[in-house]
């Protein structure tokens, strides 16, 4: 359904913003959708209240007792499953590093206007739930199905379209062992903002794939063409061109900013001497094989020591010693994955601000 948006964002014809100034509507989005404070990377598993959050529309009011998950479309045995039914099925618990595809958007220039993430749209939670595959097997996905469509209960307007939040996966991706119908986050029922009572969790993919407030699963005969699949989450140079779909997470390493922060600018203040820089790195379905730190604008790099990953779908820790001498520095961290991808020092631009994995820069004053 198309619909003329009641409010253009932030004004007619304005799709991009200047690098250093933000519009009120972006601040409004940022107040609703929060990032993880980077010091939260000290925890293997992010406390629920520190995990990043993104909801396109409103958090829906869901009656968990009345909820029936519909499994329908091109299946031999359609199912209607209560939360109890799902909780009686085999339970898996997986640590998963989730990242929003728009992470890094606000560092792009010109800046695509949307949720203005810098680098903090990340978190690693322990998701508990039942493997999607078991449910699909029980329903019996027909040979003619090409995708599985996941529909949430939240509605709103985006791209001049009234919509519910929906995303699809190929049958093959949906059948992977690690895909969960999750009803727990860090050992407790999901919080309302994270999808209560039920959500999809798709490890390795950017966050948009993990549909929250899940209401139905439908096996479909044609690739899904809805807004969240075709109108957004694309790598493209212009907003009109569909470009390529955004899928798995790009390799990224982040540092916990060392020392103490200046309140307003977050520039770090550090005492001279040996400091151990620490952080986390992840790479979607690849492994992180290297993290490097530069204190001289990329002229030289030091290899960090890597810890084993927190789980097969979760980040690993890293640390790197630095003998800090008085002066002003920009610390740069970058990671490399097992497919040979290294985070770039210059950001490749795209119109939706997707998948920006530019190497992180942290400004430090050593005294």
For residues 55 and 351, which CB has a smaller minimum distance to ligand MTE in the complex?
55
Assess 234 for contact with ligand MTE (CB under 6 A).
no
For residues 216 and 360, which CB has a smaller minimum distance to ligand MTE in the complex?
216
* Residues 79-108 as x/- pattern, contact with ligand MTE by CB under 6 A: -------------------x-x--------
Q: What is the size of the binding site for ligand MTE (CB under 6 A)?
A: 18
Per partner kind, with CB cut-offs from 5 to 8 A, the member of Mo ion, ligand MTE, none near residue 295 is none
Report the number of secondary-structure helices (H) and strands (E) in the chain: 4, 24
CA geometry: angle 314, 319, 320, nearest 5 deg:
150
Per partner kind, with CB cut-offs from 5 to 8 A, the member of ligand MTE, Mo ion, none near residue 52 is ligand MTE
Which two structure tokens, joined as six digits, stand for 307? 């810890």
For residues 235 and 301, which CB has a smaller minimum distance to Mo ion in the complex?
235
Assess 100 for contact with Mo ion (CB under 5 A).
yes
Among 46, 114, 168, 210, binds ligand MTE (CB under 6 A): 210
Q: Do the beta carbons of residue 198 and residue 179 sit within 8 Å?
A: no
Per partner kind, with CB cut-offs from 5 to 8 A, the member of ligand MTE, Mo ion, none near residue 51 is ligand MTE
Closest distance between Mo ion and the C-beta of residue 284, in Å?
14
CA distance 329 to 279: 18
Closest CA to 261 of 120, 122, 362: 362
Q: Which residues make Cβ contacts (< 8 Å) with residue 123, sequence separation at least 6?
A: 36, 40, 46, 50, 51, 52, 97, 98
H or E element: which one contains 190?
none
Per partner kind, with CB cut-offs from 5 to 8 A, the member of ligand MTE, Mo ion, none near residue 277 is none
Largest CA distance in the chain: 69
Q: Do the beta carbons of residue 109 and residue 37 sit within 8 Å?
A: no
For residues 180 and 366, which CB has a smaller minimum distance to Mo ion in the complex?
180
Q: Give 207's DSSP letter.
A: G
Phi-psi label, residue 110: left if phi above 0, alpha if psi -120 to 50, beta otherwise = beta
CA distances from 353 to 145, 234, 253, 271 (A): 32, 9, 18, 36
Q: Which residues make Cβ contacts (< 8 Å) with residue 192, sequence separation at least 6?
A: 59, 62
Q: Considering only residues 36-55, where is the footprint of ligand MTE by CB under 6 A?
A: 51-55
Closest distance between Mo ion and the C-beta of residue 137, in Å?
29
Assess 253 for contact with ligand MTE (CB under 6 A).
no
Per partner kind, with CB cut-offs from 5 to 8 A, the member of Mo ion, ligand MTE, none near residue 115 is none
Q: Give 277's DSSP letter.
A: E
Among 36, 136, 139, 208, binds Mo ion (CB under 5 A): 208
Stretch binding ligand MTE (CB under 6 A), from 210-218, 245-253, 299-307, 321-329: 210-218
Q: Do the beta carbons of residue 104 and residue 190 sit within 8 Å?
A: no
Closest distance between ligand MTE and the C-beta of residue 188, in Å?
14
- Provide the binding-site residues for ligand MTE, judged by CB under 6 A: 51-56, 98, 100, 152, 154, 165, 194, 207-208, 210-213
- Provide the binding-site residues for Mo ion, judged by CB under 5 A: 54, 100, 207-208
């Amino acid at each position: 359904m198309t619909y003329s948006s009641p409010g253009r964002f932030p004004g007619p014809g304005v799709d991009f913003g200047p690098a250093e100034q933000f519009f009120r509507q972006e601040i409004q989005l940022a107040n609703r959708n929060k990032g993880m404070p980077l010091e939260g990377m000290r925890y293997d598993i992010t406390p629920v209240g520190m995990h990043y959050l993104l909801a396109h529309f409103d958090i829906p009011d869901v009656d968990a007792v009345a909820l029936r998950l519909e499994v329908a479309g091109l299946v031999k045995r359609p199912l209607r499953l209560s939360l109890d039914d799902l909780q009686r099925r085999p339970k898996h618990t997986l640590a998963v590093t989730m990242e929003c595809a728009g992470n890094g958007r606000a560092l792009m220039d010109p800046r695509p206007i949307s949720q203005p993430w810098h680098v903090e749209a990340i978190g690693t939670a322990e998701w508990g739930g039942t493997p999607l595959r078991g449910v699909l097997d029980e329903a019996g996905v027909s040979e003619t199905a090409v995708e599985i469509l996941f529909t949430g209960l939240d509605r709103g307007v985006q791209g001049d379209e009234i919509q519910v939040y929906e995303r699809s996966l190929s049958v093959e991706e949906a059948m992977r062992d690690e895909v969960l119908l999750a009803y727990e986050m860090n050992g407790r029922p999901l919080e309302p903002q994270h999808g209560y009572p039920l959500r999809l969790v798709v490890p390795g993919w950017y966050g948009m794939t993990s549909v929250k407030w899940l209401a139905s699963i439908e096996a479909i005969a044609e690739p899904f063409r809805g807004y969240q699949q075709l109108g957004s989450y694309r790598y493209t140079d212009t907003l009109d061109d569909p470009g390529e779909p955004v899928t798995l997470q790009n390799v990224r390493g982040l540092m916990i900013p060392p020392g103490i922060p200046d309140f307003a600018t977050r520039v770090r203040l550090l005492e001279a001497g040996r400091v151990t820089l620490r952080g986390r790195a992840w790479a979607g379905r690849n492994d992180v094989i290297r993290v490097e730190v530069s204190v001289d604008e990329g002229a030289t790099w030091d290899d960090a020591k890597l810890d084993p990953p927190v789980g097969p779908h979760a980040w690993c820790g890293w640390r790197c010693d630095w003998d800090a001498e008085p002066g002003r520095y920009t610390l740069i961290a970058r990671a490399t994955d097992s497919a040979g991808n290294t985070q770039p020092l210059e950001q490749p631009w795209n119109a939706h601000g997707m998948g920006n994995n530019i190497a992180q820069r942290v400004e430090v004053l050593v005294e």
